[in-house]
Structure 1
Amino acid sequence: MTEIERRDRRVQRVVAGIYLGIPVVLLGIGVWISTAGSPAVWVGCLVPVGMLVLGWVLRRRHRYQPRWWAGIGGLFGGVGGLFVTLFPLAVGVWWPVFLVLPALLVGIVAGAALARYADRVLLVPVVPELADTPYELIFRLRGLQLTAVLLGADSFTIQSRPVLRSQKVEDLGKTYPLSSITGVFEVALSGVERLKFPIPLPHPPIVTEGPAVILQASGDDWVLPTNQATTLIDLLNRRRAR
């Protein structure tokens, strides 16, 4: 078994723990509490059952997309914290309700921490063989808040996060098939350049000195500042050559 295969197994075990393990644990707690109450209390078990169904569906979509793991981990962890402190009220146990806020915070942090751990297992250290996997690889852009490039199995996306409810995610992203990329080069920025980007940015860009990637695709030519320029270019070229 190769190092990448070992990483993949460890990562997928953690991802399964987030998407499926948390709901299963909550379902076990719900069943245990429900046995001490009336038949109507069993309705509360629909919460972890619903989480389990949702986790099953989302895991199939997100298993190779690390950008979703922390959000789902925090969501499921937070719901778990609320469930274990509020559901005992159904059987007349009141004292856990005083722990609802700490449990909520601990659940969010724990779920997000599991996702960060999976991300580290996958990416530390970054090796060229990652390009041969189906994982979406994320590279933050320097000086551009909430903006990153996503190197997918067959596409390259420049993506920002919406900061206003009126903003649509699809309006804040530009995707190129890998087959449309005609050139990718590393360049050093002095910090005085004025850069244009293919998407609207949530905050004005701050151009700083350091490495960057020149991306040429579909007739477009963009300069993308990133401290991981060399790594991004190596992985991108390897995926393009597959």
Structure 2
Amino acid sequence: MQVSGKVAIVTGAASGLGAATARVLAAAGAKVATFDLNGDGADATAEKLGGKGYGVDVTNAQSVEDAVARVIADLGAPRILVSCAGIVHGERIVGRDGPASLDAFSRVINVNLIGTFNMMRVVADAMSKTEPVESGERGIIINTASIAAFEGQIGQAAYAASKGAVHSLTLPAARELARHGIRVMSIAPGLFGTPMLSNLPDEVQDSLAANTPFPKRLGWPEEYGRLALHICENEMMNGETIRLDGAVRLEPK
């Protein structure tokens, strides 16, 4: 699907991978709707791109349903969804002070997995009601997994579980939505220079980058955005998770 003139919703768009993806899609001619729990941040990103920003809680059914309805009214029906909203939490299952917090584990699952599915279900429904393009395609949904889905480290039980579930969701969703002409893909980024990592000390960031075979640096958020753009444009890409990681493999800890 060519993105020029298409409506694209990007979540987690106040910063990091989401903001970069919004920039890449807008540069390719998409009409971008930026979603973020931080509504001011979503507005700030959208303002630079000629799009529209929306304060949205991806874990809340009504919040997402209302926001997508507003996008349709403001910009038109969405053809592209890139879900980048996510959080990370580090905690051992059994720590010095006892068992891990169930509330913290649930929150990570709720944002990273339930939030991703919540966006998918509402946007896929909207896409299914649009007229297909010449090839029969109606839309493309791109979710964000992580290499932690495959090599989760000690202390990453919640994060790895949530991202592993996003990966596992990709194929059945693609199979089901194929009848509507909707593709589903996931990207599993490695170590990227997002606020999640950029707040770490420089020596820690350098150590992480040194473990990447090539290139020996943190990924640039725009590289994620460029892959998302290519997935949009390449109709044969469907039902798969693509690692974007410079060949790094996470150590146990």
TM over 0.5: no
Return the structure number with greater helix share: 1
TM-score, scaled to structure 2: 0.25
Larger radius of gyration: 1
